[in-house]
Chains A and B, each alone.
Chain A
Amino acid sequence: MSGLAASAAATSKGRFDKIDDLIDSRLMARLDRLDVVSRKIFTGKIQGERRSRRRGQSVEFADFRNYSPGDDLRFVDWNIYARLDRLFLKLFLEEEDLSMVIALDMSQSMDGGDPNKFDYCRRLAMALGYIGLVNNNRVSLFGFGGGRIERLTGLRGRRRTREMGRWLLDRKTDGDAGFADGMRAIALGGQGRGVLLVLSDFLFPDGYEKGLTYVAGRGFDVYALQLLAPQEIDPARHGVTGDLRLIDSETAEEVEVTASTSVVAKYKESLERYVGSLREFSVRRNISHQVVETSLDLDTLLLDYLRKRGLLA
């Protein structure tokens, strides 16, 4: 089943209730070939499958250095000692594990759109987390929204896939985002430096600047994936017309709108201005910002869209 088909099936049922709704085996097989690419070099806590610039315990020789007391004798090159009677220590390119943090926006604003933004968010988180687990990275999941921060940390290895899926299935949207608090918790959470994937619509009444500033200054390689429903990107093409009373799902604020051509044009102009300002804010802080329309097929997103943009390799 393709990602889009899975999404349609899930939507038809209303909610996901099993892990296969989040990710199917065919997609998992295709994701096995992918790995998350970090634009930064991080020091992992344990040896991983990631080739690091740091000299370490990998099979790939890097250099020699003189032995110093205390060095691990297992890395002494005994062949050189035999010829030169001097102790040299072999240095290898160390393979580090990558800390991969996925932050999910669980605010009420995510529970909208067709396809549903939160469902799409969970499926995307599942896929990205699976890539991290398959590559033996340390995967952590954070959900923020409704004044709470929920987390699932320390996942490593393919066998934790089901646990991660179960956790994602249990997440519900509620209340406002609390984006700044969520980012602050991640920044201070001691997850180690790594890749931070923020999955959100970034429609925060209080703004995104404070939250992104928390994580931008902590050494994360931050990817901001802005999930927007097709109805939000082009309302007129998706039935948002006529005399409407629009109710904000988070704040319950009501706005009366006569969705005429001119008003919709102004709406799109305002949305573009907002997305543009978010992108500009992100670029200034070395954050990769991507807009993802939830109607986009997940396979295409992962295997084409994100690969071209350097997140996956």
Chain B
Amino acid sequence: MSAAGLLAVTWLAPLAASVLALATLPPLVALYFLRLRRTKRVISSTLFWTRATQDLRANAPFQRLRFSLLLLLQLLALLLLIFAIAQPQLDLGGTNAQRVVILIDASGSMSATDCSQSTTRLTEAKRLASERVRSLSSGGLFSSAAPSIMVVAFAKDAQVVCPFTDNAAQAIDAIASIEATDETTQIADAFELARAFTTVTDPDNAQAVIAAPPEYELFSDGRIADLDKVVLRTGERVVFHTVGAATTQNVGIAGLAAARTPERPDEVQIFARVVNWASTPYAGDLEVRVDGTLRAVTPKPVEVPALHEDSTTKVRIAGETQVVFPSIALPQGGVVDVRLTTKDALVADDCASVVAAPPHALSIAIVGKGAFVLRSLLEGMTLAALDVFSLEEWDRRLASDAQTPDAYDVIVLDDAMPAQLARGRYLVFRAPPLAAGIVAYGEKQNASVRSLRDEHPLLQYVNLDGLFVASMTAVAPGGDADVIVEASEGPLVVTVNRGPLTLVYVSFDPMESNWPLQRGFVNFCSNAIAWLAAGGQAVTDEPLAPGDIITARLPSDARTPVLRLPDEREIALVVPAQSNLSYGPLRRSGVYRLQWEQGSADRAATTLSYAVNMKTRTEGRCDAASEISFATERVTGVQGGGSAASAAWPWLLLAAFVLLILEWWVWLRRV
């Protein structure tokens, strides 16, 4: 702890102390100005008294203030009392809180190597947190007892690494076990999680909290996306330990896509978006590698504008540049890496990957009335097969062969609901799929879009501003449903992912809207079919983000699946019966490879690759914040590990009492 930290004092009641000082100090000094009340006595001559005594006084009512040990002691005692009233909080490494929650940011930006000896921010945060735990456990000068400590690591979600414990070693071991991730930073879950452990309510009154709130010790670079969603409760105190440098700058790849064109299915076109979080413009090259082999380099340095501030909103916006590479011949598919040739503090976003599957035409079935518009749209796509079934025909096939849905990459249900909806990937229009947990409760008319998640892959290049729905089914989605587009009358587009069953539900018939007349309808259908066909069967795999979960549909005879992580570690997986294989959340960015044995083929022949890229738009900003703003409170960061305050007023009162005793003793000696 620095000397400055040792002397840091916070006054909780400075106004009260000021009032007390004004009310008491001047009268005390005035008492020494005022003369003693003396008995008047007329004598013949004061000649000898004048010579004898030193207590000469002028005739004025006030006398010149002379040094007095009594006055000095009284002033000191009074000042100590005033200081005690001001309730100084000394930062001496201790804390008054009975419970302390250590919050450690393990998000992607904490992997920036801008700390001493080029260590990462997370390493530094763990070191500071461990120091803090030691100082709390040893107790400060004014601490009565060491508090209980809980350790929570958070990134996209929060995790209790160590529940409340009085064992400092246990807490420190837990801190050391925290691993870096490339996830985004979400702190609201961490607070909710900590409050679940720390809030003790009265059994007779659930609203009455009977335990003091904990003190939160946050170790982070301060770049937290959802700070404005956190409202500190009464009594909650957050100490923000700033980790990282405020001047760190970063350039990263924010987006990457590889697409095969219908005209040249053997070629892949690569699109990349470079984001610059630096205060100066960036100019540098990008290289493209396929399965590790360099295939292309930008012909000239890519120029990215600097970070700038929006003149209207005053929000700092990163500079962005989109890069389109010439088509690369890729007949067999592979993993495409796009990498910045320059290095900066945050390496994780300097490279982005995408898995380009080999050219493969989809097989799609249409069940139901098979509207002309929809069928024409699908016929326009390069497909291996497009079969149209009536509902009765589909049900008969299902009855004869339950594996029928596996024969198609995507099944389009056009206002039709089969008897069985157990497995398969469906694009459903109008008829509510009850089996997927979507319950219809009526019909609604004249709906328009109220909100949508435009970042979702389904809505890529889809503009729904002009969408008007004449009639829709009012549905209540289940708990595992994900509402993508919502109208004022209810959800318009919902996704459900239940292991072997994945569907996109559109709650209205496109023919009862103006959507078929818009270009967005074509894009939406294309996006929906590509998204549903994910798992190596689609044209291009959508990159995953850290924190996502891998879900794979393996063949029924697949054996001993193994997941190879970006750092080449292997994790053996178990294929659950009647369900897709899943693993996650994926903590780091990079390429994950799922391999299994099938028949006589070895693992190398059966591989599924998953690209996981850091979300640079939210995690790429690497200049550490000196203060953070919650919804209702602003917290200034402190450097170093020790920051908890300890009350000093009991000791000030004791010192004042000792001074008063000393003053009394001096007075007695004088009298």
Cβ of B44 and Cβ of A269 under 8 Å apart? no
B40 contact set on A, CB distance < 8 A: 244-245, 247
A interface residues (Cβ-Cβ under 8 A, vs B): 109-110, 112-113, 117, 201, 203, 205, 229, 231-232, 240, 242-251, 253-258, 263-264, 266-267, 269-271, 274
Cβ of B49 and Cβ of A257 under 8 Å apart? yes
Cβ of A270 and Cβ of B57 under 8 Å apart? no
Minimum-distance CB pairs A-B, first 5 = A266-B52, A256-B57, A267-B52, A203-B45, A109-B44
With A266-B53, A267-B52 as contacts: A255 and B41 at CB distance below 8 Å: no
B43 contact set on A, CB distance < 8 A: 112, 231-232, 240, 246-249
Would you give the shortest CB distance from A163 to chain B, in whole angstroms? 30
Whole-angstrom distance between the alpha carbons of A257 and B49 in the complex?
A: 8
B37 to A, closest residue via Cβ = A243
Would you give the shortest CB distance from A256 to chain B, in whole angstroms? 4
With A203-B45, A203-B47 as contacts: A245 and B52 at CB distance below 8 Å: no
Residue B55 is within 8 A (CB to CB) of chain A in the complex = yes
The winner among B41, B42, B44, B48 for most chain A CB atoms within 10 A is: B44
A270 contact set on B, CB distance < 8 A: 48, 51-52
Residue B59 is within 8 A (CB to CB) of chain A in the complex = yes
A232 contact set on B, CB distance < 8 A: 43-44
Cβ of B45 and Cβ of A256 under 8 Å apart? no
With A243-B38, A245-B39, A256-B35 as contacts: A112 and B44 at CB distance below 8 Å: yes
Of B35, B41, B56, B57, the residue contacting A247 (CB under 8 A) is: B41
Cβ of A257 and Cβ of B48 under 8 Å apart? no
Would you give the shortest CB distance from B183 to chain A, in whole angstroms? 81
Residue B342 is within 8 A (CB to CB) of chain A in the complex = no
Would you give the shortest CB distance from A261 to chain B, in whole angstroms? 12
Whole-angstrom distance between the alpha carbons of A254 and B54 in the complex?
A: 14
B629 contact set on A, CB distance < 8 A: none
Residue B384 is within 8 A (CB to CB) of chain A in the complex = no
A110 to B, closest residue via Cβ = B44
With A263-B53, A274-B48 as contacts: A256 and B38 at CB distance below 8 Å: yes
Whole-angstrom distance between the alpha carbons of A264 and B533 in the complex?
A: 114
Given contacts A247-B42, A263-B53, 20 further A-B contacts (CB under 8 A): A109-B44, A112-B43, A113-B44, A117-B44, A203-B45, A229-B44, A232-B43, A248-B44, A248-B47, A249-B43, A249-B44, A249-B45, A250-B44, A255-B56, A266-B53, A267-B51, A267-B53, A269-B52, A271-B48, A274-B48
Whole-angstrom distance between the alpha carbons of A240 and B38 in the complex?
A: 12
Would you give the shortest CB distance from B670 to chain A, in whole angstroms? 9
Whole-angstrom distance between the alpha carbons of A255 and B39 in the complex?
A: 11
The winner among A109, A205, A245 for most chain B CB atoms within 10 A is: A245
18 examples of A-B residue contacts, CB within 8 angstroms? A112-B42, A201-B44, A201-B45, A203-B44, A231-B43, A232-B43, A242-B39, A244-B39, A244-B41, A254-B57, A256-B35, A256-B36, A256-B55, A256-B56, A263-B52, A266-B51, A266-B53, A274-B47
Residue B50 is within 8 A (CB to CB) of chain A in the complex = yes
Cβ of B51 and Cβ of A244 under 8 Å apart? no
A231 contact set on B, CB distance < 8 A: 43
Would you give the shortest CB distance from B43 to chain A, in whole angstroms? 5
Would you give the shortest CB distance from B49 to chain A, in whole angstroms? 5
B37 contact set on A, CB distance < 8 A: 243
Of B39, B50, B51, B56, the residue contacting A243 (CB under 8 A) is: B39
B42 contact set on A, CB distance < 8 A: 112, 246-247, 249
Residue B578 is within 8 A (CB to CB) of chain A in the complex = no
Cβ of B55 and Cβ of A257 under 8 Å apart? yes
Of A240, A248, A257, A269, the residue contacting B45 (CB under 8 A) is: A248
Would you give the shortest CB distance from B290 to chain A, in whole angstroms? 104
**In B11-54, which residues have CB < 8 Å from any A CB?**
35-54
Cβ of B59 and Cβ of A254 under 8 Å apart? yes
Q: Is the interface of B mostly helix, strand, loop or mixed?
A: loop
Whole-angstrom distance between the alpha carbons of A256 and B40 in the complex?
A: 9
Whole-angstrom distance between the alpha carbons of A113 and B56 in the complex?
A: 23
Whole-angstrom distance between the alpha carbons of A257 and B39 in the complex?
A: 10
| Mask: chain B, 412-442; 1 = CB below 8 Å from A; 0 = not | 0000000000000000000000000000000
Cβ of A258 and Cβ of B39 under 8 Å apart? no
Cβ of A255 and Cβ of B50 under 8 Å apart? yes
Whole-angstrom distance between the alpha carbons of A254 and B45 in the complex?
A: 10
Cβ of A258 and Cβ of B53 under 8 Å apart? yes
Cβ of A255 and Cβ of B53 under 8 Å apart? yes
B48 to A, closest residue via Cβ = A270
Would you give the shortest CB distance from B637 to chain A, in whole angstroms? 61
A229 contact set on B, CB distance < 8 A: 44
Would you give the shortest CB distance from A202 to chain B, in whole angstroms? 10
Whole-angstrom distance between the alpha carbons of A87 and B56 in the complex?
A: 80
The winner among B35, B39, B41, B57 for most chain A CB atoms within 10 A is: B41
Would you give the shortest CB distance from B64 to chain A, in whole angstroms? 13
B36 to A, closest residue via Cβ = A243
B47 to A, closest residue via Cβ = A203
Whole-angstrom distance between the alpha carbons of A112 and B49 in the complex?
A: 16
Whole-angstrom distance between the alpha carbons of A233 and B4 in the complex?
A: 66
With A255-B49, A263-B52, A270-B52 as contacts: A244 and B38 at CB distance below 8 Å: yes
Would you give the shortest CB distance from A260 to chain B, in whole angstroms? 9
The winner among B39, B53, B57 for most chain A CB atoms within 10 A is: B53
**In B43-80, which residues have CB < 8 Å from any A CB?**
43-57, 59
**In B187-237, which residues have CB < 8 Å from any A CB?**
none
A112 contact set on B, CB distance < 8 A: 42-44
A248 to B, closest residue via Cβ = B46
Cβ of A246 and Cβ of B49 under 8 Å apart? yes
B671 to A, closest residue via Cβ = A260
B54 contact set on A, CB distance < 8 A: 263
Would you give the shortest CB distance from A211 to chain B, in whole angstroms? 16
B50 contact set on A, CB distance < 8 A: 253, 255
A263 contact set on B, CB distance < 8 A: 52-55
A254 contact set on B, CB distance < 8 A: 46, 57, 59
B59 contact set on A, CB distance < 8 A: 254
B53 contact set on A, CB distance < 8 A: 255, 257-258, 263, 266-267
The winner among A244, A257, A270 for most chain B CB atoms within 10 A is: A257
A246 contact set on B, CB distance < 8 A: 41-43, 46, 49
Cβ of B47 and Cβ of A205 under 8 Å apart? yes
B36 contact set on A, CB distance < 8 A: 243, 256, 258
A107 to B, closest residue via Cβ = B44
B44 contact set on A, CB distance < 8 A: 109-110, 112-113, 117, 201, 203, 229, 232, 248-250
Would you give the shortest CB distance from A105 to chain B, in whole angstroms? 11
Whole-angstrom distance between the alpha carbons of A250 and B47 in the complex?
A: 11
Cβ of B49 and Cβ of A267 under 8 Å apart? yes
Whole-angstrom distance between the alpha carbons of A243 and B44 in the complex?
A: 18
B52 contact set on A, CB distance < 8 A: 263-264, 266-267, 269-270
Whole-angstrom distance between the alpha carbons of A263 and B36 in the complex?
A: 17
Would you give the shortest CB distance from A106 to chain B, in whole angstroms? 13
B38 contact set on A, CB distance < 8 A: 243-245, 256-257
B57 to A, closest residue via Cβ = A256
Whole-angstrom distance between the alpha carbons of A175 and B544 in the complex?
A: 114
Whole-angstrom distance between the alpha carbons of A240 and B48 in the complex?
A: 14
| Mask: chain B, 472-497; 1 = CB below 8 Å from A; 0 = not | 00000000000000000000000000
A256 contact set on B, CB distance < 8 A: 35-36, 38, 55-57
Would you give the shortest CB distance from B47 to chain A, in whole angstroms? 6
Would you give the shortest CB distance from A32 to chain B, in whole angstroms? 34
With A256-B55, A263-B53, A267-B53 as contacts: A250 and B45 at CB distance below 8 Å: yes
Whole-angstrom distance between the alpha carbons of A264 and B51 in the complex?
A: 11
Would you give the shortest CB distance from A295 to chain B, in whole angstroms? 15
Cβ of B48 and Cβ of A267 under 8 Å apart? yes
A205 contact set on B, CB distance < 8 A: 45, 47
Whole-angstrom distance between the alpha carbons of A163 and B620 in the complex?
A: 125
Whole-angstrom distance between the alpha carbons of A255 and B42 in the complex?
A: 10
Whole-angstrom distance between the alpha carbons of A242 and B40 in the complex?
A: 11
